[in-house]
Chain A
Amino acid sequence: MAAPQFAEPAALVRRGGMRGRPRRAVILGLAVLTLGVLSFLSLMYGAVHLSPGEVLSGLTSDSDLFARNVVWKIRYPRLIDGMLVGAALAVSGSLLQGVTRNPLADPTILGITAAAGLASAVVIVIDPQVPQWGIAMSCVGGGLFGAGVLFFIAWRGAVSPVRLALAGVALSAFFGALIVALLSSSRTFLQTSLGFLAGGLYGSEWRDFDAAVPYIVPGLLVAFLLSGRLNALALGDDVAAGLGVLTDRTRLAILAVCGVLTAAAVSIAGLVGFVGLVCPHLARFTVGSDNRYLVPVSALYGALLVTAADLVARLVIAPSEIPMGIFTAAVGAPFLLYLVKFRG
Chain B
Amino acid sequence: MKRLRSLPLLFLILAMGSLLAAGCGGDDDGTSATASPTASNAAGTPTVKAAYPVTVTDLLGRTVEIKAKPKVVVALSPTAVEFVYAAGGTIVGRSGSVDFPEAAKAAKEVGTAYQPNFEQILALKPDLIVADSIIHAQPQLKKPLEDLGIPVIFAGADSYQKVLDGLALMGKVFDSAEVTKTLSASITKARDDAKAAVGSKSVSAVALIADRDQTLYAAKPGSYAGDVLNQLGIKNPAASQPDAGPFPGYTTLAPEKLIEYNPDFIFTITPAPAPAPRLSTLVPQIPPFKGLKAVTGKKVIELNLELFLQAPGPRIVDAFKAITAAVTGS
Q: Which of B137-145, B156-164, B271-279 contacts A (4 or more CB under 8 A)?
A: B137-145
Looking at the complex, which one of A72, A191, A299 makes contact with B29 (CB distance below 8 Å)? A72
Tell me if B287 is interfacial: C-beta within 8 Å of chain A. Answer: no
Residues from chain A with Cβ under 8 Å of B112 in the complex: 320
Tell me if B176 is interfacial: C-beta within 8 Å of chain A. Answer: no
Distance between B125 CB and nearest chain A CB, rounded to angstroms: 6
Within 8 A of B (CB), among A196-220: 202-203, 205-207, 209-210, 213, 217, 220
How many A-B pairs with Cβ below 8 Å? 133
Distance between B302 CB and nearest chain A CB, rounded to angstroms: 24
Q: How far is the CA of A224 from the CA of B119 in the complex (A)?
A: 37
Q: How far is the CA of A240 from the CA of B89 in the complex (A)?
A: 73
Looking at the complex, which one of A24, A48, A68, A73 makes contact with B120 (CB distance below 8 Å)? A48
Tell me if B37 is interfacial: C-beta within 8 Å of chain A. Answer: yes
Say whether, besides A66-B123, A217-B16, A319-B111, A72 and B5 are in contact (CB < 8 Å).
no
Whether A206 pairs with B20 at a CB distance below 8 angstroms is no
| Nearest chain B residue, comparing its CB with the CB of A69 | B122
Whether A28 pairs with B8 at a CB distance below 8 angstroms is yes
Contact string, B114-154, partner A, CB cutoff 8 A, digits 1/0? 11011110110100000000010111110110011100000
| Nearest chain B residue, comparing its CB with the CB of A36 | B15
Contact string, A164-193, partner B, CB cutoff 8 A, digits 1/0? 000000000000000000001111101110
Distance between A67 CB and nearest chain B CB, rounded to angstroms: 9
Q: How far is the CA of A74 from the CA of B119 in the complex (A)?
A: 7
Q: How far is the CA of A24 from the CA of B4 in the complex (A)?
A: 10
Residues from chain B with Cβ under 8 Å of A72 in the complex: 26, 29-30, 33
Tell me if A77 is interfacial: C-beta within 8 Å of chain B. Answer: yes
Residues of B whose CB lies within 8 Å of any CB of A are 1, 4-5, 7-9, 11-13, 16, 19-20, 22-23, 26-27, 29-30, 32-33, 36-37, 109-112, 114-115, 117-120, 122-123, 125, 135, 137-141, 143-144, 147-149, 243, 245-248
19 inter-chain pairs at a CB distance below 8 angstroms, sorted by A residue, are A24-B5, A25-B4, A47-B123, A62-B32, A66-B122, A68-B33, A70-B122, A70-B123, A75-B119, A188-B138, A191-B138, A203-B140, A205-B143, A217-B20, A293-B5, A296-B9, A297-B8, A300-B8, A321-B117
